[in-house]
Amino acid sequence: MKNNGMGTHRTPMRDFVVEVERPSSAELAAYTRAERYRMLRANTEAHRTQLEHWLEMQDLGSEVGDMRAGTGFNLIFVECTPHVAEQLVLAPGVIDVLPVAE
């Protein structure tokens, strides 16, 4: 975890849900249910990978503890500092970032 030049002081990490873009219903209409499922899962995983790269490019990777795709399509769970959560709204493909209720 990054100490930001503040000695041993560490910013606590929290859990956030990141909503990412997904294909529209019209785009998915031509596919079978199984195909739609695969496409939506692949879309979420692609956004997760893109988000990991973006975080590293922004030098924020050290403030992220964990990142995993949620069970719902277009949701990614991120354990990170509040600072990173504020920045995530600027990442490509991100619609919203919300704290997970404790």
Fold of 14-99: Alpha-Beta Plaits (3.30.70)
Whole-structure pTM value: 0.83
Instruction: Print pLDDT tens along the chain (102 aa).
Output: 344 444 445 779 999 999 999 999 999 999 999 999 999 999 999 999 999 999 999 999 999 999 998 776 899 999 999 999 999 999 999 999 999 985
E strands present in 1-102: 14-20, 64-69, 75-80, 94-99
Domain ranges of the chain: 14-99
The residue among 96, 94, 93, 61 whose CA lies nearest residue 80 is 61
